[in-house]
Structures are given as structure tokens and as C-alpha cells.
Amino acid sequence: MNNPVSPKILWNKAAKNGIALGLFTALCRMVSQFVTSTDIPSAGTAVLNGLVWLIQFAGCIWIMKFLMERLVTQYDGVTGRDTARYGRLLALTSSLIFSAVMLADVLFISPETVTKQMDLLYEMYGSMIDTNTRATLQAMENAYPQIMFFSTFIYSWLYGVILSAILSRSIPRRDPFDSFMTHNRNEQ
């Protein structure tokens, strides 16, 4: 084992590993968009998108757990509080990377996505939308990339914070008899 873990080490590791986790999540989302844009029948598209979503969901949990456990093996005296803090920092950096990639996608790679979504909205609810609502929606269409960036960032960060809180309860592994044995040794 190495030295004890410090806040500087936590930030450094979270930044590096957060980039990898954010890119993994963005890659899964891009694969899902690619599957949706292909000429596969809609049932096949739904199955493939479900599979990609499952890989993304389980993969994010597994990667975060792996990184938190690796922190425990690399440094002395890592506590549950340290792993929870590391998980929150990891969630922050990966959410920022994921949101930035999604923003770049909407602005530069496939800007027609926003137009398609708004056209679908107008098609579905067109008869119920009055002129004021339509004008508001058109104004929102211009701000959609910013709205998407911040909503994706907040959602992803909150998901990561909750996940890190859940995972940090069992990382590092605790010995249930440790407090009993320590108490008995102190009495003798």
C-alpha cells in the first residue's frame, strides 16, 4: 500500500477517472442514437436500445464500484467517508464530461435532433397548441442545448451522488466483529 489518501489525491483520481466514466456514458448514448437512426424495424431498435441502456446502467455502477474499491487497495486508511467523497467527486467530473459531450452532439454533430424533437412535439400536440404556446416553444428550441446541458448535468450528478452513497456503505469492507474484538482487547 501507499500513503494515506488526501483531498488532493481524491480530486486528481476523480478527475482522471471521471473523464473515462463520462466518456463511457457518452459512448453508450451515441450508440443508442446510432441505433435509433438506422433502418432497423422499430421492435429491433427498441430491443437494441434497451440492451445499450442496460449496458450503460450496469456499466456505470460496476465502473464506479471498481474505482472506489481500487482506491481502497491503493491507499492506507481509506474510510467509508473517503470513498463517499471520492464517489461524489467522480460523479461531478463524469457528469460534466458526459453533459459536455452531449452538448457538443446537439450543437455540432447532430443539430437536426432538436428540430426533429420539436417537429414531433408539434405533430403530437399541434391541434392543442395556441399561438402563444407555439411562440414560447420556438423560443425554447433556441435555448434547448443549454437546457439539455444543465438538466443532463444535474440528473447525472445526482445519480452519481446517490450511487456513491450506496456503494460507500460497503467500501471498504467492514468486519462486523472488529468492534467487539477491539472492545474485548481494551477490557483486558
Start-to-end Cα distance in the chain? 31
pLDDT tens column, 77-102 = 899 999 999 999 999 999 999 999 99
Residue 172 has pLDDT above 80, yes or no: yes
Q: Are 151 and 63 in contact (CB under 8 A)?
A: no
Q: Are 75 and 3 in contact (CB under 8 A)?
A: yes
Structural domain contains residue 176? no
Report the chain's mean pLDDT, rounded to a whole number: 88
Residue 39 has pLDDT above 80, yes or no: no
Structural domain contains residue 92? yes
Structural domain contains residue 177? no
- Identify the band that residue 180 occupies on the pLDDT scale cut at 50, 70 and 90: low
In the chain, how many domains are there? 1
- Identify the band that residue 13 occupies on the pLDDT scale cut at 50, 70 and 90: very high
**Structural domain of residue 40, as residue ranges?**
7-171
Q: Are 49 and 40 in contact (CB under 8 A)?
A: no
DSSP 76: B
pLDDT tens column, 156-167 = 999 999 999 999
**Distance of alpha carbon 77 from alpha carbon 83, whole angstroms:** 11
Structural domain contains residue 186? no
